[in-house]
Amino acid sequence: MKLYITGGGTGGHVTPGIAIARYCEQKRPDTVVRFAGTSGGIESRLVPREGYPLDIIEISGLRRSFKPDAIMHNLKAVKQTLLAQAQAKKLLLQHKPDCVIGCGGYVSFPIVSAAQKLGIPTILLEVNALPGVTTKMLAKKADRVLVCFEQAKNILGDSDRIYMTGSPVRTEIVFADRKAAREKMGLTDNDRLVVSFWGSMGAKYMNEHMADMLTREMREEVSFYHVHATGSAASKWLPRKIRENGVNPDANPNVTITEYIYDMADKMAAADLVLCRAGAATIGELCALGRASIMVPSPYVAENHQEKNARALEKAGACDVLLENEANGNRMFEMTTALLADDKRREQMAKNASKLATLDAGEKIYQHILQVVRKS
């Protein structure tokens, strides 16, 4: 079985595709997988690191503005899309996949659209409560649309091609061993670990707050450990900002600052508390692992879907929500230290998160793939 998976721009559009690829390979060892993505997105690093070939297609999204620079950008984007569709058609004819799976992001559009024109079965995976533009544009001609929220199903319309599956979680997340992960990091049962990240690209305002939070942690010489992923945009200036605050990040062994956490399964399994955005893929992994969290939803996504995601977890008692316009370094520090000091509440949050896990999403998606392939 040959699968062609596309999705990019952010980790939330890439990690679900990798999870699907791994699951299908486990179920059917004869599965052959290729990915398509952009050269500038996180997929250009994550996909090759996972051992999969990645075909590069350059495309960018449209800007919702009539300013001269936005108009020029949009003209270029339209031209890119036309070229990308031609390139996508050529790639699909060359590799002859049995199914094309679009996981979101602008790069999904030319690949899935070309597949639909060529008569190749297509499946869309929408992990957010509010479907993205790409999903909405491609859904009517897709063989299956797989969603993770009832709200997404309602928005896309009452169709017998839309199915609730949940978000696929990487196998290494599902089977992550907390004890082994903590031993690998040299943590004892009494040690507390905080893991924080704001997305593969980073988030400027949140990383500014994080610089202040980490500065305070270092000054007060806190007893807990903290691993923070800056994302690509803040990998250099965040440590520099901490130094400008009068603290040397290299002289504080309890704090680790890295651009990207490649062994996320181990780090999240070992964590006692996670600070993060509220993307559906991240939520799926937190629930699968059963981890307490403080979520700061991104206000820059379409129709504020991350806050809706986070509020659903908050209602279930699985996380605390802090809006970005209310966030600052001191507030995050105080919320973090309060939760670390309250084992009972933190453990209850973790249990509540576990109750929301959809651990059979991979199997459901695999069965849908088999069904559309058999029909073709």
| 63 lies in the same domain as 92 | yes
Name the 3-class secondary structure at 228: strand
| 9 lies in the same domain as 157 | yes
**The pLDDT value given to residue 165:** 92
**Sign of torsion over alpha carbons 194, 198, 199, 202:** negative
Taking each helix axis as running N to C, give the angle between helix 343-355 and helix 329-341, from 0 to 180 degrees, rounded to the nearest 10. Answer: 90
CATH number of the domain at 104, please. 3.40.50.2000
**Tokens 């017998």 identify what position?**
160
**The pLDDT value given to residue 73:** 46
| 135 lies in the same domain as 79 | yes
pTM of the model: 0.78
| 325 lies in the same domain as 215 | yes
CA dist 352 and 276 (Å) reads 17
Exposure letters 354-372 (e unless 16+ CB within 10 A, then b): bebbbeebbebbbebbbeb
| 149 lies in the same domain as 187 | no
| 141 lies in the same domain as 182 | no
Burial class of residue 245, CB neighbours in 10 A (0-12, 13-18, 19+): middle
| 204 lies in the same domain as 164 | no
- Tell me which residue range forms the domain holding 6: 2-168+360-375
| 270 lies in the same domain as 288 | yes
Q: What is the pLDDT of residues 205-245, one digit of tens each?
A: 899 999 999 999 999 999 999 999 998 788 889 999 999 99
**The pLDDT value given to residue 277:** 94
**The pLDDT value given to residue 148:** 85
> Which parts of the chain sit beneath pLDDT 50?
70, 73-74
| 157 lies in the same domain as 279 | no
Count of alpha carbons within 13 angstroms of residue 255, beta-carbon side = 23
Q: What is the pLDDT of residues 63-93, one digit of tens each?
A: 555 555 645 544 565 566 768 888 999 999 9
**The pLDDT value given to residue 79:** 60
| 159 lies in the same domain as 15 | yes
Contact 124, 146 (CB under 8 A): yes
**The pLDDT value given to residue 153:** 86
| 129 lies in the same domain as 8 | yes
CA dist 262 and 51 (Å) reads 14
The continuous run of DSSP H or E covering 257 comes out as strand 255-258
